[in-house]
């Protein structure tokens, strides 16, 4: 399934998780970010569990940074769209900085990005293709953060993740509008 054929947030989240960050994720981490609380229960409620969630988020944020770089270097983006892509990339860089410093404060080692990501570069032939690709990544990020927010042992981390979720949701809404869709998310509740 390509980024352009996904029809549900669950499909986007699965693709997002399967491509996120170059980390080898445990079944619990995948369950955690996919919103399967019962399957993830073993990692929840501990500092180590919080670090694992944060590192998974860092991996996904690093992938988003690389994806926006791919779009920026594609020469397919008009100046206003390129400026927007670089602004969103800057937000993702800020997320990584905050998440990484938090992991360090918790005594962990922040995740690092891959040398190379498996993006559908051969499918990115127009500006609209790049916008749709970015929109699907942002939709996946919204779903992933939504699944993670209630699972942090440290409630302050939940608040921080919810703040990032809001930023990702705004990115997604703007990209929906840029692709000709209504900027309002498709339903009143995210899953």
Residue-level pLDDT at 20 = 39
Question: What is the C-alpha separation between 50 and 104, in angstroms, rounded?
Answer: 12
Which pLDDT tens digit goes with each residue over 133-188? 999 999 999 999 998 999 899 989 999 999 999 999 999 999 999 999 887 766 76
Return phi, psi of residue 27, to 5°.
-60, -35
Class of 10-178 in CATH:
mainly alpha
Which pLDDT tens digit goes with each residue over 75-123? 999 999 999 999 999 999 999 999 999 999 999 999 999 999 999 999 9
171 and 185 in contact (C-beta within 8 Å)? no
Residue-level pLDDT at 117 = 93
Residue-level pLDDT at 13 = 42
**Nearest Cα to Cα of residue 50 among 142, 161, 188, 177:** 161
**DSSP codes of every residue in 22-66:** T----HHHHHHHHT-HHHHTTTTTSHHHHHHHHHHHHHHHHHHHH
Taking 60 as the threshold, does the pLDDT of residue 6 lie above it? no
Q: How many Cα atoms within 13 Å fall on the side-chain side of residue 44? A: 20
Note the pTM of the prediction, 2 decimals: 0.75
Residue-level pLDDT at 183 = 77
Q: Which two tokens stand for residue 32?
A: 């955690």
**Nearest Cα to Cα of residue 102 among 66, 28, 145, 154:** 154
């Amino acid at each position: 399934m390509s980024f352009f054929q996904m029809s549900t947030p669950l499909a986007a989240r699965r693709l997002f998780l399967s491509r996120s960050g170059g980390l080898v994720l445990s079944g619990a981490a995948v369950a955690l970010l996919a919103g399967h609380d019962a399957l993830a229960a073993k990692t929840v409620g501990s500092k180590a569990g919080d670090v694992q969630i944060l590192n998974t988020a860092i991996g996904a944020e690093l992938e988003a940074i690389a994806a926006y770089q791919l779009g920026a270097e594609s020469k397919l983006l008009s100046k206003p769209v390129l400026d927007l892509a670089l602004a969103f990339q800057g937000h993702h860089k800020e997320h990584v900085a905050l998440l990484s410093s938090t992991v360090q404060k918790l005594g962990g080692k922040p995740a690092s990005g891959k040398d190379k990501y498996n993006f559908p570069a051969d499918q990115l032939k127009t500006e609209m293709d790049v916008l749709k690709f970015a929109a699907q990544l942002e939709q996946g990020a919204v779903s992933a953060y939504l699944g993670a927010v209630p699972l942090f042992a440290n409630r302050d981390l939940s608040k921080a993740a919810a703040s990032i979720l809001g930023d990702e949701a705004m990115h997604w809404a703007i990209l929906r509008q840029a692709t000709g869709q209504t900027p309002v998310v498709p339903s009143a509740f995210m899953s």
